[in-house]
């Protein structure tokens, strides 16, 4: 009976480890030191740069066990800027991000893979304009430690990925404006307080 109980407790512990990152630290994305930028081709001459100015999110992370991480990010579509007021208004429309119907872009990490000591891949569901596609982020672990200024526990990553806007139903001006969108992400997470 004693052995059965021990085995049951052991299996429950393993299950808990498998489904939730019990020992991972919870971090909130620090928007002041994080950024999301995208690059999109314009007629082959240049890449227009856009940034998301308002986003939020949190993640669980343990450097010794990155596979057990979690990640949720939300980007406010209305905050996307391409350094041109007219165009910024245009991309909010039904042909593009359709901010009226879909005011947020959401990414939820599903699978976290370590590819080297400092790199990894996060595969998750990216939802833009109501369309959800599996998307993989190539992630570089930069540093984890104490911020010397305020002594907070901080971890930082850089990430890149490429998505096709047409996959998310955005097919306007495909001959002129590129289909491939390069995303560059810098994230600084501060340990969640409270």
Partner 1 sequence: MLGFGNSPQEALAASLLVMMLVGIFASGLMRWRGLMRPTDLLMPAALLAAYWLVYNKVPAFPPVGAVNKLFYVIVIGTAVGFAVEIAAQRAVRVVAFLQPVAAAFYIGLPRLGVATWEVVAAATVGVAIMWLILRGMSARAEDDVKRGGVVAVLALGFAPIALLGASSSSFQLCLMFAAGCLGILLVHIVNPVFRFGGASSIGVLGGLISVAFTVVLITRKADPVAIAILGLCVVLPVFSEGICRMLGVSRQFPRLFVHVALAVLPAALAVAVAFLDYGSSFPA
* Binding residues for partner 1 (CB under 8 A): 84-87, 89-95, 98, 100-102, 129-131, 169, 171-173, 175-176
Backbone Cα Rg of the chain: 20
Q: Give the nearer residue to partner 1 in terms of CB position, either 29 or 129.
A: 129
To partner 1, the closest distance from the beta carbon of 77 in angstroms equals 13
Q: Give the nearer residue to partner 1 in terms of CB position, either 75 or 137.
A: 75
Name the H helices within 51-104.
Answer: 85-90
Q: Give the nearer residue to partner 1 in terms of CB position, either 75 or 122.
A: 75
To partner 1, the closest distance from the beta carbon of 99 in angstroms equals 9
Q: Of 134, 21, 106, 116, nearest to 70 (Cα)? A: 21
**CA pair distance 17, 161, nearest whole angstrom:** 29
Q: Give the nearer residue to partner 1 in terms of CB position, either 22 or 174.
A: 174
Task: Give the three-state DSSP class for 53.
Answer: coil
**CA pair distance 16, 50, nearest whole angstrom:** 41
Helix, strand, coil fractions of the chain, as percent rounded to 5 = 20, 50, 30
To partner 1, the closest distance from the beta carbon of 126 in angstroms equals 15
To partner 1, the closest distance from the beta carbon of 170 in angstroms equals 10
To partner 1, the closest distance from the beta carbon of 100 in angstroms equals 5
Q: Give the nearer residue to partner 1 in terms of CB position, either 45 or 149.
A: 45
Q: Of 52, 51, 74, 64, nearest to 22 (Cα)? A: 64
Q: What angle do CA 193, 19, 17 make, to 5 degrees?
A: 80
């Amino acid at each position: 009976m004693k052995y059965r109980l021990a085995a049951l407790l052991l299996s429950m512990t393993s299950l808990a480890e498998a489904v939730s990152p019990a020992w991972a630290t919870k971090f909130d994305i620090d928007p002041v030191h994080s950024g999301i930028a995208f690059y999109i081709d314009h007629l082959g001459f240049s890449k227009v740069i856009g940034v998301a100015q308002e986003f939020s999110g949190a993640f669980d992370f343990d450097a010794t066990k990155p596979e057990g991480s979690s990640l949720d990010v939300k980007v406010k579509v209305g905050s996307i800027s391409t350094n041109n007021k007219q165009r910024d208004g245009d991309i909010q429309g039904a042909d593009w991000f359709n901010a009226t119907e879909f005011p947020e872009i959401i990414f939820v990490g599903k699978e976290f893979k370590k590819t080297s000591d400092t790199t990894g891949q996060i595969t998750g569901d990216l939802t833009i304009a109501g369309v959800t596609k599996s998307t993989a982020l190539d992630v570089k672990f930069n540093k984890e430690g104490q911020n010397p200024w305020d002594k907070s526990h901080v971890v930082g990553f850089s990430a890149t990925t490429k998505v096709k806007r047409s996959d998310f139903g955005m097919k306007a001006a495909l001959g002129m404006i590129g289909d491939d969108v390069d995303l560059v992400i810098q994230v600084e997470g501060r340990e969640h307080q409270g």
